Amino acid sequence: LLKEPTKKPLVVHFHSCEAERRGPRASRDARAVEQAALDAAERVLCVSEASARTLRAHYALEYAKVRVLHNAFTPLDPGKPSPEHDAPVVLYLGRLSEQKSPDIFLAAAARVRARHPSARFVLAGEGELYPELVELARELELTEHVTFTGFVSGEELARTYAAADVYVLSSSSEPFGISALEALSLGVPTIVPHAAGVTEVVRSVLRFEPGDAGELADKIVSLLERPALRRQLSAAGLREVKKLRWERPARALRGIYDELVPHVSAGTAP
């Protein structure tokens, strides 16, 4: 809407697209709006190579326009140490939506509990799937072993991560996954889907095939039963995320705008 009257270059920054959010049930209207933006843009910014591949697969896209700009994150303040707990805690933190696959988390939780009956599972977040997930937890006989916290932020967010022994990003499609970086920054061993964009910037995570609750359960159990592996991933994750600050992507973003509007960096009037 602004490109034509202003005669300015258009940069579209995709953090997620309709094809990633809803897959085969994607809205035609939403996809049409996204396609129009892609057609009009001089540059298309993606948060990962994985997200760029998704755009190429589902939209008509001139790939020369694409630039990949990985996310960074703001480290959380760990605050006071979490109190010790006897039972292991496995955490899901994110929207309770189809894309994030919290149902796969619960299906894996049922398998984990069969091998570790004392394990506790926390789902932190809110979303349209909440009623269905409460019912699924009941069907899986997990009601007494699962806590739904609702939305968390600020100090409570950091405490929620820090209280976990394992963090799980269970998304069916994940363009990036900043929550994984947040968990790693607090020393929490983390499991993510194979194709999650975050795996392009960190390696100290375990991976599973999206949608495979059995494999996810096996990865969770491997961490619960191997404290040395938890310590190894925790230490390696802390080292990796220290490098992921906003200065680098900010410089890269400025460079992209300078490509399109070089007179701005030269200090001349637009």
Tokens (6 digits) for 244: 């992921």
- Tell me the residue ranges of DSSP E strands in 3-127: 11-14, 43-46, 66-68, 89-93, 120-124
Given this model, what pLDDT does residue 81 score? 63
Given this model, what pLDDT does residue 263 score? 56
Q: Are 11 and 45 in contact (CB under 8 A)?
A: yes
Which domains occur in the chain, in start order?
3-72+245-265 (3.40.50.2000), 89-241 (3.40.50.2000)
Given this model, what pLDDT does residue 269 score? 45
- Tell me the residue ranges of DSSP E strands in 20-131: 43-46, 66-68, 89-93, 120-124
Q: Are 14 and 55 in contact (CB under 8 A)?
A: yes
Calpha distance 146→119 (Å, rounded): 9
Given this model, what pLDDT does residue 178 score? 95
- Percentage helix, strand, coil for the chain under 3-state DSSP, each rounded to 5: 50, 15, 35
pLDDT for 125-183, tens place per residue? Answer: 999 999 999 999 999 999 999 999 999 998 999 999 999 999 999 999 899 999 999 99
| Radius of gyration for the chain, computed over Cα atoms and rounded to the nearest angstrom | 20
Calpha distance 142→140 (Å, rounded): 5
Which residue type, as a one-letter code, is found at position 170? Answer: S
Give the other-Cβ count within 10 Å of 236's Cβ. Answer: 16
DSSP 210-244: TT-HHHHHHHHHHHHH-HHHHHHHHHHHHHHHTT-
Given this model, what pLDDT does residue 179 score? 96
Strands across the sheet with 66-68, in order?
11-14, 43-46, 66-68
pLDDT < 50 positions in the chain? 267-270
Calpha distance 21→140 (Å, rounded): 26
